[in-house]
């Protein structure tokens, strides 16, 4: 199952840029972190949630820079020792780097810099109050100079107790960091760093995309960057709140295939497990627009992203599934899998259908067993007449033919789907001599592969699993 995981591929392109910048800023982060412990329990080092550090000159990231970033990232692990935080506070030693998203603080009792994994839940609640449109203002911290002096005194005490050379060096470094706030601000100015909230960044990106004076390249870059932010549920909902979502949805009917593609890319991420956004997207016409892209002549990459956005819009949203069926979505997908040059999309389509079939089945089963689904939601699932439509529209045959695909993972998905369609398609499958032949051939092939797997000591291996599903299909179809 695809499960929208391919979005992860993109992460390394944008993250290291910020990660690296942050690392260079580590000393500043440390001081700031210390200054802010009492107001926020997280600091600038904590990218990706509330505050982001961006360098305005660099924010319109272009390909060349991304390449550099990747090259830089490749170097990084050789230079730095990376510390892997846990959910407990642990002392960080000099020269150790922490992964983005970690929580760093200065322990005033011991003078040590400590790190732990961000605690999602707490973080969310902490954030709720301070969220919208807030700028980080280093003057408003509640840290007093007395606290700093006390902390310094602790360092001195500590230095007397443990006086290994390394520790002394570390403490000298830490002391250097106690500089007046004015100096700190100057550093920020020199670095040309602006502290922007995710919301502000999204507004800026949407304005860039929405502006008629932006070039195509700028628009695409804005969407590309935006995709990173909308993975977070809160951000995706914020996008909705200022009208940004609709702007992106309208991008789906742009005349530029690339704009369509990247708009779909952003939407796929924004819809993912985000019911509020999914509902708004349906109201905003996203479903029709996605189907139009899939039904008309478009480059393969555009259709791929549109299909991804469609999957993410339909999942766990029975109302959208009903609309999809009403709008003729199954016919659109059928033409798509039969279109020349779109074969690679066929497996994704079949996977989507498998997901929808099993989702409805589990929802109905769950509702009976646990009774904790709302009656409205169950009613909506009941109104998704998926299986009869699939049968009427020839999906039994289409799916059976796809078993001829050469890749193992494609066959795996097709076998899964055949299993899910078995009750509905039994007559068709039973009479389909080609299907029986194909299953026979595959059975022999996977018997051999499973035997090899077994020789290598794997007794519940991948090929054995495929073989098991083939065997059970053959048995059911007898
Ligand atoms: C996008 O641009 C249009 C006009 O060009 C404007 O009316 C609309 O408010 C803009 N939308 C956003 C969210 O900025
Ligand atoms: C897309 O269609 C909507 C209405 O369906 C329209 O408001 C919008 O301007 C269109 N966008 C483009 C870029 O054509």
**155, 185, 207 — which closes off a domain?**
155
Answer whether 252's CB lies under 8 Å from 266's CB. Answer: no
Ligand at shortest distance from the CA of 241: 1
- Cα separation of 241 and 112, whole Å? 42
- Residue ranges for the chain with pLDDT beneath 50: 1-80, 120-144, 148, 155-156, 158-162
- For the Cβ of 250 lying below 6 angstroms from any atom of ligand 2, the answer is yes
The answer to whether position 103 is within a domain reads yes
- Judged by its nearest atom, the ligand closest to the C-alpha of residue 210 is 1
Please check whether residue 131 lies inside any domain of the structure: yes
Ligand 2 pocket check for 126: Cβ under 6 Å:
no
Residues with Cβ within 8 Å of 25's Cβ and at least 6 positions away in sequence, in order, are 44, 53, 191, 193
Residues 399 and 460 reside in one and the same domain: no
Is ligand 1 within 6 A of the CB of residue 393?
no
Does 319 reside within a domain?
A: yes
Asked if residue 279 and residue 232 are part of one domain, the reply reads: yes
**Protein residue closest via CA to atom 9 of ligand 2:** 250
Distance of CA 278 to the CA centre of its chain: 16
Q: How many CB atoms lie within 10 A of CB 35?
A: 20
Residue 251 lies in a domain: yes
φ/ψ of residue 292, rounded to 5: -60, -45
Tally Cβ neighbours within 10 Å of residue 25: 18
Point out the domain boundary residue: 96, 122, 155.
155
Listed in order, strand segments (DSSP E) in 136-198 are 194-197
- Same domain membership, residue 317 and residue 212: yes
* Shared domain check, 208 and 353: yes
> Does residue 315 share a domain with residue 294?
yes
Question: From atom 13 of ligand 2, which residue's Cα is the shortest distance away?
Answer: 254
Q: Judge if the beta carbon of residue 254 lies within 6 A of ligand 2.
A: yes
The residue among 98, 111, 120 whose CA lies nearest residue 44 is 98
In angstroms, the CA 259 to CA 91 distance is 47
Q: What is the pLDDT of residue 297?
A: 93
CA of 186 to the centre of ligand 1 (A): 36
Q: Whose Cα sits closest to atom 3 in ligand 1?
A: 210
What is the rounded distance in angstroms from the CA atom of residue 177 to the CA atom of residue 96?
17
Q: Is 206 in the pocket of ligand 1 (CB under 6 A)?
A: yes
Task: Provide the pLDDT for residue 91.
Answer: 77
Question: 219 C-alpha to center of ligand 1: Å?
Answer: 14
Q: Order of strands, edge to edge, in the sheet holding 113-117?
A: 90-91, 113-117, 102-106
In a domain, 323, yes or no: yes
Distances from the Cα of 307 to the Cαs of 171, 227, 313, 332, in angstroms? Answer: 55, 16, 10, 11
Q: How many residues does the chain have?
A: 478
Token pair 């007898």 in the structure block, residue: 478
Residue 208 and residue 134 share a domain: no
242 and 387 assigned to the same domain:
yes
- Domain presence at residue 325: yes
Q: Tell me, using a 6 A CB cutoff, whether residue 243 lines ligand 1.
A: yes
Mutation choice for ligand 1 from 244, 247, 259, CB with most ligand atoms inside 8 A? 247
Range of the structural domain that residue 390 is part of: 198-422
Q: Is 253 in the pocket of ligand 2 (CB under 6 A)?
A: yes
Q: How far is the CA of 288 from the centre of ligand 1 (A)?
A: 21
Structure tokens given for 395: 């999906």
Domain boundary among the residues 422, 442, 460 is at: 422
DSSP character at residue 428: H
Q: Is the CB of 247 under 6 A from ligand 1?
A: yes
475 and 406, same structural domain?
no
Q: What is the CATH number of the domain that holds 345?
A: 1.25.10.10
> Could you tell me if 380 and 440 lie in one domain?
no
Q: Are residues 235 and 353 in the same domain?
A: yes
Q: Whose CA is nearest to atom 14 of ligand 1?
A: 207
Residue position matching structure tokens 């299993």: 419
Same domain, 245 and 360: yes
Nearest ligand 2 atom to the CA of 259 is 13
Residue (of 334, 380, 387, 330) closest to 358 by Cα position:
387
Identify the CA nearest to 408 among candidates 354, 347, 458. Answer: 347
Residue 244 CB less than 6 A away from ligand 1 = yes
Residue 41 belongs to some domain of the structure: no
State how many domains the chain has. 3
Cα of 340 vs centre of ligand 2, distance in Å, is 29
Q: For residue 246, is it within any domain?
A: yes
Say how far apart CA 33 and CA 37 lie, in whole Å.
6
Q: Quote the CA–CA distance of 43 and 176 in Å, as a whole number.
A: 19
Please indicate whether residue 301, judged by its CB atom, sits closer than 6 Å to ligand 2. no
Q: Transcribe 42-56 into DSSP letters.
A: S-TT-TTTTEEEE-T
Q: Which structure tokens are listed for 176?
A: 């250097």
Question: CA–CA separation, 24 vs 55, rounded Å?
Answer: 13
Rounded distance, CA 97 to CA 335, Å?
Answer: 52
Q: Same structural domain for residues 414 and 336?
A: yes
Q: Is 48 in the pocket of ligand 2 (CB under 6 A)?
A: no
pLDDT at residue 306, as a whole number: 97
């Amino acid at each position: 199952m695809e499960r929208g995981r391919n979005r992860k591929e993109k992460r390394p392109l944008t993250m290291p840029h910020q990660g690296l910048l942050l690392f260079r800023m580590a000393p500043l982060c440390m001081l700031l972190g210390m200054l802010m412990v009492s107001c926020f329990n997280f600091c600038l080092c904590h990218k990706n949630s509330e505050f982001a550090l961006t360098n305005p000159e660099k924010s319109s990231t272009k390909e060349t820079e991304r390449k550099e970033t990747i090259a830089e990232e490749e170097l990084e692990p050789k230079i730095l020792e990376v510390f892997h935080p846990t959910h407990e506070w642990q002392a960080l030693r000099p020269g150790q780097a922490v992964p983005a998203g970690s929580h760093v603080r200065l322990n005033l009792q011991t003078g040590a810099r400590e790190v732990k994994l961000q605690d999602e839940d707490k973080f969310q609640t902490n954030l709720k109050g301070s969220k919208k449109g807030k700028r980080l203002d280093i003057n408003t911290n509640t840290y007093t100079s007395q606290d700093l002096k006390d902390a310094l005194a602790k360092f001195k005490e500590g230095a007397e107790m443990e006086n290994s050379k390394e520790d002394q060096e570390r403490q000298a470094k830490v002391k250097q960091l106690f500089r007046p706030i004015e100096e700190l601000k100057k550093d920020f100015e020199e670095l040309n760093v602006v502290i922007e909230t995710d919301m502000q960044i999204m507004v800026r990106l949407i304005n860039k995309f929405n502006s008629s004076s932006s070039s195509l390249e700028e628009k695409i870059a804005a969407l590309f960057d935006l995709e990173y932010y909308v993975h977070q549920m809160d951000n995706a909902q914020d996008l909705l709140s200022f009208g940004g979502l609709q702007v992106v949805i309208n991008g789906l009917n742009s005349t530029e295939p690339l704009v369509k593609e990247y708009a779909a890319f952003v939407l796929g991420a924004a819809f993912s497990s985000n019911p509020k956004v999914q509902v708004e997207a349906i109201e905003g016409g996203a479903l029709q627009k996605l189907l139009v892209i899939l039904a008309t002549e478009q480059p393969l990459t555009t259709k791929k992203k549109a299909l991804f956005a469609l999957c993410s819009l339909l999942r766990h949203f029975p109302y959208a599934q009903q609309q999809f069926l009403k709008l003729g979505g199954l016919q659109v997908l059928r033409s798509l899998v039969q279109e020349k040059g779109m074969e690679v999309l066929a497996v994704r389509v079949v996977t989507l259908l498998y997901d929808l079939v099993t989702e409805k089945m589990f929802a109905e089963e769950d509702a009976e067993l646990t009774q904790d689904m709302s009656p409205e939601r169950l009613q909506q699932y009941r109104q998704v007449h998926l299986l009869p439509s699939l049968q009427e529209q020839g999906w039994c045959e289409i799916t059976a033919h796809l078993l001829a695909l050469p890749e193992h993972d494609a066959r795996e998905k097709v076998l899964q789907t055949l299993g899910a369609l078995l009750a509905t398609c039994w007559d068709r499958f039973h009479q389909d001599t080609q299907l029986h032949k194909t299953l026979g051939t595959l059975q022999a092939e996977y018997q051999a592969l499973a035997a090899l797997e077994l020789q290598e000591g794997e007794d519940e291996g991948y090929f054995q699993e495929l073989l098991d599903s083939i065997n059970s299909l053959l048995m059911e179809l007898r």
